[in-house]
Structure 1
């Protein structure tokens, strides 16, 4: 079985480690650093977001830039405060169970949870070592990602990627246990250690026929979510929606993660919520699950890097300078230390 998994990973680039996948492209990234004469050449790409949104930015600073009506109701909780204070904050806000909790500064779905009751919240609060947010759970049925960019000298932007997300899940057959479902799942079986940590206490449970059991609520590729390419549905209406949002926030490059009632509603600018958006560090995740060859994926990534370089260069020349090396180095070190801390509690 282990040998089989090894060869499946070897010949399926979508299963490769991030650093292995991107290593052949790294000379181009360094070339942009040299041309810009700045290690952090991407920092002016999104001037209103710390570090250009590459890594380590807080969700609060990004939510605060957006119109309140398209952001889920959110409150922020400091770690270590008395739990009674948390309950008072929830009562004042009017938030109701179930709701979402996640670190204000997070990545890859680490410590993202759906909280069903007070006991779960208490365990989470006692465990998490950093500031976190409590957010209304958005029940719109369709979850999508939109990769958007706009050259600052142009009025109209580009939606370069549009995908539908399906959370990592299994459907019961009334016969197999959860463990057997996971071992048979084309994605979950490669995440067995993570699945055992999260769901090991339920491994012997037989999943009733037709029941959907969610293995992860994070809609990230690195958390096993399945993507479906919606590129054929990109049109001027969709672009107009994100032009309007992005001009208000001076957001030039990155990816929006959204829940909506329907694709048509999203195109009309109604019945949708922005769960998160990621700036210069956003991966064009429409390369996954779209039958792309490795070379097509590389071409797509390189195109987006070139766009990022051009936007950043223009903004640097127009009042938004590159971050100095030491400032960026110190910020990145602090961010990585923060994420290592989170991983210990995951």
Structure 2
């Protein structure tokens, strides 16, 4: 295991890069153009644009769009549940009184603070750290009616990673095909500047001020001491200034075995990303010391391609490789009898998800 963690990677350097990658700076529509072209080519090659939805047959659309976070959790066996953060779903139908919420939380082993997030989520939108009951009730008051909120144990670990998994339906070999390390947006005090000034001077952190659906909980006029690091968000998304780094060289046989065991404890789960918090890279490499926050299916992005050290051509190659593998797995599943959903049904799921995202409370 130690050899897998000593491959010349300076983990301190991983966290301090401030510039944005070329892919981060590119408009989203421009990134989508080559991806759509490849998707169309793969659709012709494999005989259908929605072939990838067959990758995970027990999840809505295979996890391409419209699936809930709780779908993945409900299918977990005892091993997968044991490494997943405690959680409970709450339907926001007007009956979620304070007493009912406390009972639901207690039954699931939850206590404040908790993280509240949409069951049908995307890119961290609507994800908030909720410190007490008053804050939870305020969150529910502005959350879309008759939609489900997931309350989950807050994980204080600073280490966060997205572990990309794929299992070949033919050979049944499970692999970790990507590892993205996430770093939260933060600024470092100089003893003179306010948080607002530090954010404005930081090319990455200033994204948080430009994100209309994010609410920074750090007082903007506070003055951090010299050398004091101030974390600006609960989430690590690049849309609020988070940093993604490629950790592929940190993947060990022990980690592969641990993730493969979790995936096999879910019904026919073949492709997706496990988002985890971890104690240390050494523990993660040993296949222990991590807790699953979320699971994402066929629609998972190869977010390690957004590493600032990865050039735009290499980044696209990584994303292209993920799409090719996804189609291949979906096609193998189809040959095994799994039926992909229709294109119109997938479009409806995607439209509903995007409409809901626009109505969620701001993340923090």
TM-score, normalization by structure 1: 0.89
Q: Which residue of structure 2 lines up, in the alignment, with residue 262 of structure 1?
A: 280
Are 2:127 and 1:112 aligned?
yes
Alignment of 1:137-286 (within 5 A): 137-194=154-211, 198-199=215-216, 202-249=219-266, 250-286=268-304
Q: Which residue of structure 2 lines up, in the alignment, with residue 72 of structure 1?
A: 85
2:316 aligns with one of 298, 301, 318: 298
Instruction: Tell me the distance in 1 between the aligned counterparts of 2:116 and 2:228.
Output: 25
Instruction: Tell me the distance in 2 between the aligned counterparts of 1:113 and 1:197.
Output: 9
Q: Which residue of structure 1 lines up, in the alignment, with residue 24 of structure 2?
A: 14
Instruction: Tell me the distance in 2 between the aligned counterparts of 1:83 and 1:95.
Output: 16
Instruction: Tell me the distance in 2 between the aligned counterparts of 1:203 and 1:223.
Output: 15
Q: Tell me: higher relative CO, structure 1 or 2? Use CA pairs within 8 A at least 6 residues apart.
A: 2
Instruction: Tell me the distance in 1 between the aligned counterparts of 2:73 and 2:54.
Output: 19
Q: Which residue of structure 2 lines up, in the alignment, with residue 36 of structure 1?
A: 46
Are residues 65 and 211 of structure 1, via their aligned partners in 2, closer, same or farther at CA, if it must alter by over 3 Å?
Answer: farther
Instruction: Tell me the distance in 2 between the aligned counterparts of 1:168 and 1:112.
Output: 15
TM superposition shift of 1:343: 6.8
Are residues 236 and 194 of structure 1, via their aligned partners in 2, closer, same or farther at CA, if it must alter by over 3 Å?
Answer: same
Instruction: Tell me the distance in 1 between the aligned counterparts of 2:53 and 2:44.
Output: 15
Aligned length: 338
Structure 1 unmatched ranges of 5 or more: 1-7
Instruction: Tell me the distance in 1 between the aligned counterparts of 2:103 and 2:307.
Output: 44
Q: Which residue of structure 2 lines up, in the alignment, with residue 52 of structure 1?
A: 62
Contact 1:32 1:41 in 2 (8 A): no
Kindly provide the CA deviation profile for residues 114-159 of structure 1, in whole angstroms up to 9, marking residues without a partner as x: 1112221221121211310111112334221211212111232332
Instruction: Tell me the distance in 2 between the aligned counterparts of 1:200 and 1:99.
Output: 15
SS at match of 1:274: strand
Are residues 81 and 17 of structure 1, via their aligned partners in 2, closer, same or farther at CA, if it must alter by over 3 Å?
Answer: farther
Which is helix-richer, 1 or 2?
1
Q: Which residue of structure 1 lines up, in the alignment, with residue 97 of structure 2?
A: 83
TM superposition shift of 1:19: 2.2
Structure 2 unmatched ranges of 5 or more: 1-18
SS at match of 2:291: strand
Instruction: Tell me the distance in 2 between the aligned counterparts of 1:222 and 1:186.
Output: 12
Kindly provide the CA deviation profile for residues 5-46 of structure 1, in whole angstroms up to 9, marking residues without a partner as x: xxx98x933222322212123211012222333231211011
Contact 2:206 2:241 in 1 (8 A): no
Instruction: Tell me the distance in 1 between the aligned counterparts of 2:204 and 2:136.
Output: 29
After superposition, the CA RMSD in angstroms is: 2.5
Instruction: Tell me the distance in 1 between the aligned counterparts of 2:165 and 2:280.
Output: 19
Q: Which residue of structure 2 lines up, in the alignment, with residue 96 of structure 1?
A: 111
Are residues 334 and 295 of structure 1, via their aligned partners in 2, closer, same or farther at CA, if it must alter by over 3 Å?
Answer: same
Contact 1:127 1:345 in 2 (8 A): no
Instruction: Tell me the distance in 1 between the aligned counterparts of 2:217 and 2:58.
Output: 43
TM superposition shift of 1:200: 8.6
Contact 1:101 1:133 in 2 (8 A): yes
Contact 2:277 2:293 in 1 (8 A): yes
